[in-house]
Structure 1
Amino acid sequence: MSERLQPGDTAPAFTLPDADGNEVSLSDHKGRKVIVYFYPAALTAGCTKQACDFTDNLDVLATAGYDVIGISPDAPEKLAKFREKENLRVTLAADPEKSVIEAYGAFGEKKNYGKTYLGVIRSTVIVDEEGKVERALYNVRATGHVAKIIKDLGI
């Protein structure tokens, strides 16, 4: 089980390949707020709903000074398919080794249909302009999550 982040913690730095194989780093966004969200798998129902919600609200979030990065253990090629199939505009980053997912506390024990297993915990970490954790939300629901973030942030 990875340690969960708390408000005030320094957000772990990362550099991961995006859907096109280009590097995406948290440091590229210094001076802007970043919503880093973790999801279990591209091209699945809940993850598609969440990614589409972020895409639909991207302009609202960007205007308020937020960038959005979605991270999953999928390979860049699968992320590219996901982006094209769903017309996604959020940055999708690949973390097949799950090193960033674990660093952000988004990997651990999950329960599904009575079975317990290890996997990616649907989580959202909001990082401020200085690279500090503003909010860390774990075990979030795919549906309605983006609307809740917008409401909670007063956007």
Structure 2
Amino acid sequence: MALQVGDKAPDVLGLDQNGNEIRLSDFKGKKLALYFYPKDNTSGCTAEACSLRDGYKELQAAGYEVVGVSKDSAKSHQGFIAKQELPFNLIADTDTALQQAFGVWAEKKLYGRSYMGTLRTTFIINEDGIIEKIIGPKEVKTKDHANQILNS
């Protein structure tokens, strides 16, 4: 069953682009914007990452840290971070375990074809590790996502 508002998020989130373990407890005293996105270097995902990059200082000033998650490899994440100058870590969830735990790995349809993929979703996790808000797939504004989080 997917995690919902009010649930405690898991402590171990996964490995980042450098193979370092990312834990929720690493962000003690801060809110975490954990955002799930489909693929590095695609238009919507790049717009979302760049919005978060551009608003990163404001997010930090408001007590947030940001971590992205996709199915891409650590190497892909390294290239995406370098190309877009992203100041935050990206988790390489290549086995989709974290996406499944959060309920964002699901069936999608495109041009009449069904396939499994990532539902673009952001989880706002409070200082105590509790999911405070979920910005769902139909709600995420990729080009203005930092402001969307700040105003949530």
TM over 0.5: yes
Q: Where does residue 90 of structure 1 map in the other structure?
A: 88
State the alpha-carbon separation in 2 of the partners of residues 113 and 59 from structure 1.
39
Consecutive unaligned residues of structure 2, counting only runs of 5 or more, are: none
Question: Is 2:21 the counterpart of 1:23?
Answer: yes
Within 5 Å, which residues of 2 pair with 1:1-155? Answer: 3-139=1-137, 140-152=140-152
State the alpha-carbon separation in 2 of the partners of residues 118 and 35 from structure 1.
24
Tell me how far 1:73 sits from its aligned partner: 0.8
Q: Which amino acid aligns with 1:45?
A: S
Contact in 2 for aligned 1:42/1:82 (Cα 8 Å): yes
Contact in 2 for aligned 1:5/1:104 (Cα 8 Å): yes
State the alpha-carbon separation in 2 of the partners of residues 96 and 23 from structure 1.
14
Contact in 2 for aligned 1:127/1:133 (Cα 8 Å): yes
Secondary structure of 2:6's counterpart equals coil
Q: Which amino acid aligns with 1:47?
A: C
Report the more deviating stretch, 111-120 or 38-47. Answer: 111-120
Q: TM-score, normalised by structure 1?
A: 0.90
Aligned residues: 150
Tell me how far 1:141 sits from its aligned partner: 4.1
Moved over 6 A (4+): none
Q: Which amino acid aligns with 1:76?
A: A
Deviations 1:109-144 (A, max 9, x none): 222233222111101000000000000122134233
State the alpha-carbon separation in 1 of the partners of residues 112 and 98 from structure 2.
28
Secondary structure of 2:151's counterpart equals helix
Over aligned residues, Cα RMSD in angstroms?
1.4
Q: Which amino acid aligns with 2:150?
A: I
Judged with a 3 Å threshold, the aligned counterparts in structure 2 of structure 1 residues 110 and 141 are, in CA distance, closer, same or farther, namely farther
Deviations 1:9-48 (A, max 9, x none): 1112224221122221112112211000001111111111
